[in-house]
Chain A
Amino acid sequence: MAIVSFEKVSKDYLTDGQRVHALDDITLEIERGEFVALMGRSGCGKSTLLNLAGAMDFPTSGNVVLDGVTTSALKDAGLTCLRREKVGFIFQSFQLLHTLTVFENVELPLLLAGKPKARDAARERLDWVELDGLGDRYPHQLSGGQMQRVGIARALVQSPAILLADEPTGNLDTITGNVILGLLKRLTRELNTATIMATHSAEAGALADAVVRLRDGKIGEIGRR
């Protein structure tokens, strides 16, 4: 069974009275362990699709089913639980809290969920992303690549079913970006999560198991290895 599926999903926004069709009749299934790249020009609907997959937003029509749960059937409390259990987010601009240490940033989702042994889990995830030893530093003491690894560790701390990455290498140089992509690919395989990554990067596309090209809110083509 697909870990996340889009069933004839459309999404419209109202911006200053104007209706914008962000997504139009998308049907797509993503399996566990798949590393999927969403590609397309700016404004084609990549981020919208990620937000729907992460239960941060609802489709205007159609259904998004995340690990067997239709997201539109849930209220806020249910969505919060679903996100905590199933979804990890990775952002282009890292989005770390500058007042927290690396350890504290990584364990934050566990603390919000009230789960025990958060520090142990954080330590393990930092190990996965090869940042052990930097747990007591603050974000402003890290390089861009290191900050993104912290972001990845944080996204993985709850052992999510899917990882959603919005331009994870957008703020990094090529070499660092490639390292991050390699890390994501490896973790996807090892942890059997599904990773959906919105990207402009050709290197990311080359690494992906499937490339979904979006054009004006529609799926243009899907290329699978």
Chain B
Amino acid sequence: MGRLFLFYRLMIRPLLKEPVRAALTIFAVTLGVAVVLAMDLAGNAATGSFRASMETLAGDNDLEIVASGGVPEAIVGSLATLPYYIRISPRMEDSAVLADSNQTLPLIGLDLVAEANADGGGRALVTSSDKTFETNEDTIRQLQKADSIWVGASLGKKLGDRVRLLINDQVREFTVRGVYPDSNGSESAVVMDLATAQRALNRFGSVDRILLNVPEPPALDEWEQRVRAILPTGVEVRAQGTGTIENRRMLAAFRWNLQLLSYIALIVGAFLIYNTISVSVVRRRPETGIVRALGASRNAVLVAFLGEAAFFGVTGALFGLPMGRLMASGAVKLMAATVESLYVSSRPGAIALSAWSVALAFVIGVGVAVVSAYSPAREASLVSPVEAMARGRREYNTRVHKSRDLLLALVLAIAAAGASRAPAMQGKPVFGYLAAILLVAASALAVPAFTDAILSQSSRWLGKVLGVEALLGSQSLSASLRRTSVLVGALSTAIAMMVSVGIMVGSFRETVLIWMNDRLPADLYLRPAGAPAPDRHPTVSLELADKISKLPGVAGIDRLRAYEISLDGMPATLASVDLSAFRRDNQSSFLSGRPTAQVLAEIRDSKAVLVSEPFTYKHHVRAGDSITFSLGAARPSFRIADIYYDYGSERGTILMDRQTMLRYLPDPTPSNLAIYLMPGTSLEAARNEILQASSGYRVLLASNRDLRAEAIRIFDRTFAITYALEAVAVIVAVMGVAGALLALVIDRRREIGLLRFLGASAGQVHKQILVEAGLLGLLANFAGLALGFALSLVLIFVINKQSFGWTIRFHWPVAVLLGAISVVYAATVLSGLYPAQVAVGLNPLEAVHEG
């Protein structure tokens, strides 16, 4: 207890005498912890614990039977003939849009009569522990009506309400026959009888999935074998929920990248803790000597300074917890929107602040603080009593091993280059991340030499140009090189992340813009209304497609169709284009560089396919390889004719000719139409004609330009969370600069007081501090730009490539970078305002006559 008391008196109470500086340091840790926690919580909710929308009401079944394009209905009969007692639940699974609110909901068709009668009739149909359909005779009668639906309670509907639903491209009216209790409002769905769903979706003869509930024993493996034995080729049986697991795996890289980005703020915070403890060590040298002379061990000194760091860590974590929880609410919305846009339609799970999350916050806060403080704390423990108490040694300049550190920086940079050439490990760019960390470390080690070189060469020149205040300011920074270097290191790391991500996103954006030129050759694009998602493919009515193709002014239409399939345990998209229809193809967008016409001719009505670049990365295939997958009632093999760039989705796509697909999946309805106009046809006139022809259908018609604009809007939104993370890192760094400048002012009060004696005005003192802030900002900007460029290469050519498989063309977003750097520079200069005020407010008499 005595030691704790001593710790408080010697280490904590002095912090209270500088509340602003202490608060800035704590806030830096708070932000770092909050961001990491927020990304962890949001990641869990948006990707880790999400359930694909179609898992709504899936209940506690054991197995599922799936097939590309749908499972033939006859399978249900085959299963029923098995000499076992198993519960068979065929399902239609799609989506419907509430016409009034545009809210997209899962549409689930169930054999409600069979479900109700499964236990002998008249008993509650339990679909999961908290969802119950109460069945009675009246309900069964309602089942037979073609417009009957059941909805989750969170939709706020009641029995008898009429609901207009957009299904594919048509709006139909339904009557609510029942409301079921959905938990926490996130799993509401539209449920209808299987037959009703098949009619609404215009898909007859097949179901989307068959769920099986089997008794134990035997084990599940044995059941899979029994069921597989009666299934035709192309139809698969697997554990229920496999789709969810596949999606989670697919989302892992996305989540992993965001999680790592969130650690940047923490790394910047680590610099600042290092600086804070270093300052503390220097200031307390005389006290350290006294305490050692009075009997404290080296270990006690080490623990004392580590304890000071832990204090910052614990306090930062305490504040970081609620802040992180709050930030997670915003983050999950952004992440969920990205998941929905690029991966799979889903509802995020609830944000759960568990004991693990709380532990994570403290481990991060305290861990980073203690690790950062170790070096200066160890230095303090090595101070001998005599040295620390020497009179007249007012200033102690920590030795900075510039040359040694520069050499080490070079070694690390070379190691980084080597690491960046290593392949991914289990689909994760582990060596890419290592390369990034090595680059950051190399930069931190090179900063002292860089800072010293710039300051020593420029201080007198600065004095001539900006006045004696600039000379004094630059020399002051040079004299405390270690502190200056740490500050420049912290700020430059934050700037580097901003620059590197800015370059990566800018390059990506530019690549996507160029890609869209090739990929969107048609004049107009038509699809069913409703929010799009990579795994949702509502269809356009055949009659409408035919009607549009016959309009004057329409040269031709390309009927595109897509299905969701599973390949090698990963979800993928199977799509077809109509190569026999009129087309107008742009430049080649194939990895081989071959002309488009040549490549398409190769896959026309043949067993050759094209695959997207992300597909090749996920499935480790290349042009010329063969891929085999279930398609309808078959399991054909296809040769990969070429690979195309695809930035629309990260899922991976197989593209074939429509004629080839129809052979296996005979449903001719398209998912969307690419419409080519006759030369000279007015776009507006054609648009109006098409919309007129589409009256009675709910479709969206977009011009080529509108589609690109929408694609870019989704792209920008995808990176919103990345920008937010960068902004936090920069804020932490700028606050750190403010806190450190304040410390510098306080430690230089004698010098500042002396200047006042020598005739310096308040304005001149003010100017000197602002010049120091400006110099720090300038040094950090230069260092940050250099490091940022290097990191951007790793991000673009290693991490992004290995995570998602995308090829990105390097591009300098000059305007964006200049703007961002200017804002950071201005913020850094402004961060000097308060320390400058403090400097002006110092009493020179006290300052000069101290000690």
Contacts and interface: CB of A to CB of B under 8 A. Distances in A.
- Residue of A95, A104, A112, A113 with most partner-chain B CB within 10 A: A112
B531 interface: no
B501 to A, nearest CB: 38
A47 B761 contact: no
B761 A77 contact: yes
A25 interface: no
B17 interface: no
B454 to A, nearest CB: 16
Interface size, B (range): 20 to 34
Secondary structure class of chain B's binding surface, majority of residues: helix
A111 B761 CA distance: 12
Interface in B799-826: none
Contact of B759 (A76, A83, A97, A99): A83
A28 B471 CA distance: 41
Contact of B395 (A76, A98, A154): A98
A84 interface: yes
Given A56-B844, A57-B845, A111-B468, A76 B762 contact: yes
Interface string A29-64: 000000000000000000100010010110000000
Nearest to B844: A56
A187 to B, nearest CB: 18
Contacts of A98: 395, 479
Contacts of A113: 759
Nearest to A82: B759
A76 B764 CA distance: 13
Nearest to A76: B762
B757 A56 contact: yes
Contacts of B479: 98-99
Given A98-B395, A99-B478, A100-B475, A112 B758 contact: yes
A47 B759 contact: no
B848 A95 contact: yes
A109 interface: yes
- Residue of A51, A84, A108 with most partner-chain B CB within 10 A: A108
Nearest to A113: B759
A84 B760 CA distance: 8
Interface in B262-307: none
B761 A154 contact: no
Contact of A95 (B395, B463, B754): B754
Contacts of B463: 111
A112 B469 CA distance: 8
Interface string A88-123: 010100010111100010001101110000000000
B475 A51 contact: no
Nearest to B463: A111
Nearest to A99: B475
A174 interface: no
B468 A108 contact: yes
Contacts of A99: 475-476, 478-479
Nearest to B764: A112
Contacts of A5: none
Given A47-B849, A56-B845, A98-B395, A112 B476 contact: no
A112 B468 contact: yes
Contacts of B224: none
- Residue of A91, A99, A109 with most partner-chain B CB within 10 A: A99
A158 B475 contact: no
Interface string B825-851: 000000000000000000011001100
A143 interface: no
A166 to B, nearest CB: 8
A108 B758 contact: yes
Contact of A51 (B750, B760, B761, B845): B845
A112 B760 contact: yes
Nearest to A166: B849
Nearest to B763: A77
A148 B444 CA distance: 41
A4 to B, nearest CB: 17
B761 A109 contact: no
Contact of A84 (B468, B751, B759, B849): B759
Contacts of B754: 95, 97
A56 B754 CA distance: 11
A100 B751 CA distance: 12
A37 to B, nearest CB: 20
B755 interface: yes
Contacts of B845: 51, 56-57
Interface string A132-143: 000000000000
A80 interface: yes
Contact of A158 (B751, B759, B848): B759
B716 to A, nearest CB: 48
Contacts of A91: 848
A84 B471 CA distance: 20
A112 B756 CA distance: 10
Interface string B474-511: 01101100000000000000000000000000000000
Nearest to A114: B467
Contacts of B468: 108, 111-112
B405 to A, nearest CB: 22
B237 to A, nearest CB: 79
- Residue of B750, B755, B758, B761 with most partner-chain A CB within 10 A: B758
Contact of A109 (B471, B478, B758, B844): B758
Interface string B602-616: 000000000000000
A89 B758 contact: yes
A97 B475 CA distance: 10
A107 to B, nearest CB: 9
A89 B757 contact: yes
Contacts of A95: 750, 754, 757, 848
Contacts of B756: 56, 80
B755 A112 contact: yes
B391 to A, nearest CB: 11
Contacts of B478: 99
A83 B751 CA distance: 17
A152 to B, nearest CB: 13
A27 B763 CA distance: 34
Contacts of B764: 112
A168 B153 CA distance: 89
B475 A80 contact: no
Contacts of B844: 56
B751 A97 contact: yes
A50 to B, nearest CB: 10
Contacts of A51: 845
Contacts of A158: 759
A98 B848 CA distance: 15
Contacts of B758: 89, 108-109, 112, 154
Contacts of A57: 845
Contacts of A56: 756-757, 844-845
B784 to A, nearest CB: 26
A140 to B, nearest CB: 11
Interface in B759-778: 759-762, 764
Contacts of A108: 468, 758
A93 to B, nearest CB: 8
A183 B658 CA distance: 104
Contact of B761 (A54, A80, A97, A104): A80
Contacts of B471: 104, 111
Interface of A: 47, 51, 54, 56-57, 76-77, 80, 83-84, 89, 91, 95, 97-100, 104, 108-109, 111-113, 154, 158
| For the complex of A and B, 5 pairs with smallest distance between CB atoms | A84-B759, A111-B468, A99-B475, A80-B761, A99-B479
21 contacts: A47-B849, A54-B757, A56-B844, A57-B845, A76-B761, A77-B761, A77-B762, A89-B757, A95-B754, A97-B751, A97-B754, A98-B395, A98-B479, A99-B475, A99-B476, A104-B471, A111-B467, A111-B471, A112-B758, A112-B760, A154-B758
Given A76-B761, A112-B758, 13 more contacts: A51-B845, A56-B845, A57-B845, A77-B761, A91-B848, A97-B754, A100-B475, A108-B468, A112-B755, A112-B759, A112-B761, A112-B764, A113-B759
